[in-house]
């Protein structure tokens, strides 16, 4: 099937949103944990985590326009800290449930059945049984004028993962932890490593 720009523009809104989002590829599912100024915890699923750089260690997360209530974004901007949690593929129904629009005074940790955990004086809550836990500090907000989305860049201040998932060279094998991946808003995947290749030379 082929689509040109005109055809994409004329697609029904819901179909286009599904199509463009799921077409953009399979990505790591990430549960983002935050806490509001009055102590309310929040947990929400994202698949927009990106590697910005290793030195200093920086990751980015893309947020939809803040024209409606965005608890995760508000909490990151207010508190300056947030956590990134990778869960196992079997946890996809619970992970998906964190995308529901709960009232502001409901914690998605409880609503979806995850347990809070705290480390190293970090204010933001980690997911207790996550395979990988990463603690982040907010660094920069970049507003994308083209469509009102917001790129949040943070630095890594805490990492916990199983020893056996890290190779001698520092490579992390996430498939060993059976981590959950997803595409778009509704589709969940598991991953398996097929190969590891050396630095490519001409």
CA separation for the pair 173, 192 (Å, rounded): 10
For the chain, the distance separating the N- and C-terminal CA atoms, rounded to the nearest angstrom, is 35
Burial of 178 (0-12, 13-18, 19+ CB in 10 A): middle
Applying the rule CB under 8 A, the residues between 162 and 181 that interact with its own copies are 162-163, 166-167, 169-175, 179, 181
Binding to its own copies by residue 67, rule CB under 8 A?
no
Binding to its own copies by residue 8, rule CB under 8 A?
yes
Considering only 57, 77, 80, 116, the residue that binds its own copies (CB under 8 A) is 57
State how beta strands 132-144 and 81-86 pair: antiparallel
Binding to its own copies by residue 113, rule CB under 8 A?
no
Binding to its own copies by residue 198, rule CB under 8 A?
yes
Binding to its own copies by residue 56, rule CB under 8 A?
yes
Place of tokens 């347990």: 115
Supply φ then ψ for residue 19, to 5 degrees: -65, -50
Nearer to its own copies, 75 or 152 (CB): 152
Applying the rule CB under 8 A, the residues between 71 and 110 that interact with its own copies are 86, 89, 92-93, 96-103, 106
Give min distance, CB of 89 to its own copies, in A: 6
Nearer to its own copies, 77 or 166 (CB): 166
Considering only 37, 39, 51, 67, the residue that binds its own copies (CB under 8 A) is 51
Considering only 78, 111, 116, 118, the residue that binds its own copies (CB under 8 A) is 111
Side-chain half-sphere CA neighbours of 178 within 13 A: 6
Q: Tell whether the torsion through CA atoms of 110, 114, 118 and 122 is positive or negative.
A: negative
């Amino acid at each position: 099937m082929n689509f040109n720009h005109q055809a994409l523009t004329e697609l029904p809104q819901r179909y286009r949103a599904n199509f463009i989002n799921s077409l953009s590829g399979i990505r790591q599912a990430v549960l983002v944990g935050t806490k509001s100024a009055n102590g309310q915890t929040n947990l929400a699923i994202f698949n927009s985590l990106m590697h910005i750089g290793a030195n200093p260690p920086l990751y980015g997360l893309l947020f939809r326009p803040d024209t409606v209530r965005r608890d995760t974004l508000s909490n990151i901007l207010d508190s300056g800290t947030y956590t990134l949690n990778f869960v196992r593929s079997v946890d996809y129904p619970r992970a998906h449930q964190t995308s529901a629009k709960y009232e502001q005074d409901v914690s998605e940790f409880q609503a979806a059945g995850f347990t809070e955990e705290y480390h190293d004086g970090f204010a933001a809550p980690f997911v207790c049984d996550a395979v990988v836990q990463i603690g982040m500090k907010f660094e920069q907000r970049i507003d994308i004028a083209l469509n009102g989305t917001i790129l949040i860049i943070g630095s890594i201040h805490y990492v916990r993962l199983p020893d056996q998932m890290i190779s001698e060279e520092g490579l992390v094998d996430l498939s060993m932890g059976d981590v959950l991946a997803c595409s778009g808003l509704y589709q969940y995947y598991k991953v398996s490593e097929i190969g590891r290749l050396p630095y490519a030379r001409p």
